């Protein structure tokens, strides 16, 4: 009874913060600058993924709010908490800034102690996080060959003797690669199993790592919050097919992209779909978060499908603005990417 009472009081305290915009927009609960926690569509999904590692009444109330349809947003529920990482019973994700606008990620398996770096923009921030956490780096999972994603490979491998996994299509460009992978392959970080998705377009062999049981995808520079990667090597049809594969992931998948580009991407999104109310509200939340130095990553697939123009090829407003009413998705995506390149 006491636990329920505490939880009920915490939930009641949080209700004024939960904002319903038009009944369908996202809600943002910002408690600190550390990203993290809760992406869940129901209490059953929480249970199937090991539960969210929270012990306070406030955290219990957040989990409850996610599980009740009348309280859950149609786009996403995000909580920024005092915890420095996303956390479940089986894994923890540490997120930290690198270079000017990159994010570094460490994925840690609690059951085995295995830890993977998702890309390596630089060396020192990773070593500092590993020392802070008391973790040993066992893997590097590279998404593509660009220097701000693989530039720290050799330094980290020299310091930790870790195993490097990277895209098969770019194996000759991935420093220190041990295991090349591509679409349909699976990788393991301890007991955490990830599926490899080919998301070529930004670079020809770009891959993403999707951990289905965790509900987490690391997508590198293929998909951003309200944006997608510029096509340096790939083709429009290749990139469109890649984004279709990502869009097929469950709506509550947490999307970890590699850069803090959200505010700039959102300005372009508003220029091509100004009537999108979900987008308007999201930009207000993004502006508020960035003014406080808070990250806007991770996002969720549902939120991206509601606000990201590169996934909204069926939007009548976007099609009309491009003079492409009734056109297929590839044509709409291609025009959107061309406009973003010169925006």
Q: Catalytic: which of 108, 145, 202, 206?
A: 202
Taking the C-alpha atoms of residue 217 and residue 220, their distance in angstroms, rounded to an integer, is: 9
Q: Catalytic: which of 108, 139, 163, 259?
A: 259
Taking the C-alpha atoms of residue 305 and residue 309, their distance in angstroms, rounded to an integer, is: 8
**Count of C-beta atoms within a 10 Å radius of residue 131:** 9
Q: Catalytic: which of 108, 119, 139, 144?
A: 144
| Closest-CA residue to 18 (of 50, 62, 75) | 62
Does the active-site annotation cover 221? yes
Does the active-site annotation cover 288? no
Q: Catalytic: which of 139, 145, 146, 206?
A: 146
Which residue's structure tokens are 């806007």? 296
Does the active-site annotation cover 147? no
Does the active-site annotation cover 149? yes
Does the active-site annotation cover 259? yes
Q: Catalytic: which of 108, 149, 163, 206?
A: 149
Q: Catalytic: which of 119, 148, 163, 206?
A: 148
Tokens (6 digits) for 69: 């349809």
Alpha carbon distances (Å) from 250 to 78, 215, 231, 238, 313: 16, 8, 25, 21, 19
Buried b (16+ CB within 10 A) or exposed e, 233-250: bbebebbbbbbeebbebe
Residues with catalytic roles:
144, 146, 148-149, 202, 221, 259
């Amino acid at each position: 009874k006491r636990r329920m009472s505490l939880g009920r009081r915490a939930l009641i305290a949080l209700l004024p913060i939960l904002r319903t915009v038009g009944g369908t927009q996202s809600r943002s609960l910002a408690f600190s600058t550390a990203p993290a926690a809760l992406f869940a569509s129901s209490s059953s999904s929480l249970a199937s993924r090991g539960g969210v590692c929270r012990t306070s009444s406030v955290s219990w109330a957040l989990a409850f709010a996610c599980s009740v349809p009348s309280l859950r947003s149609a786009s996403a529920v995000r909580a920024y908490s005092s915890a420095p990482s996303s956390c479940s019973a089986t894994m923890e994700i540490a997120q930290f800034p690198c270079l000017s606008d990159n994010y570094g990620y460490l994925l840690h398996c609690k059951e085995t102690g295995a830890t993977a770096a998702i890309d390596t923009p630089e060396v020192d921030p990773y070593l500092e996080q590993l020392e802070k956490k008391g973790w040993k780096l066992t893997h590097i999972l590279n998404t593509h060959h660009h220097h701000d994603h693989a530039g720290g490979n050799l330094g980290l491998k020299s310091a930790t003797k870790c195993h490097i996994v990277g895209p098969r299509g770019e194996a000759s460009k991935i420093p220190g690669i041990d295991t090349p992978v591509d679409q349909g392959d699976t990788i393991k970080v301890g007991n955490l199993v990830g599926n490899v998705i080919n998301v070529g377009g930004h670079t020809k062999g770009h891959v993403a790592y999707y951990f289905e049981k965790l509900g987490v995808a690391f997508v590198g520079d293929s998909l951003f919050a309200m944006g997608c990667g510029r096509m340096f090597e790939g083709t429009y049809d290749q990139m469109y097919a890649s984004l279709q594969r990502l869009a097929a992931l469950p709506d509550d998948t947490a999307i970890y992209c590699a850069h803090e580009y959200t505010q700039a991407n959102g300005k372009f999104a508003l220029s091509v779909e100004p009537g999108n109310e979900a987008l308007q509200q999201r930009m207000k939340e993004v502006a508020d978060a960035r003014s406080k130095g808070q990250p806007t990553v991770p996002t969720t697939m549902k939120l991206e499908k509601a606000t990201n123009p590169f996934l909204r090829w069926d939007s009548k407003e976007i099609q009309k603005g491009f003079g492409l009413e009734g056109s297929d998705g590839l044509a709409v995506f291609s025009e959107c990417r061309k406009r973003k390149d010169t925006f």
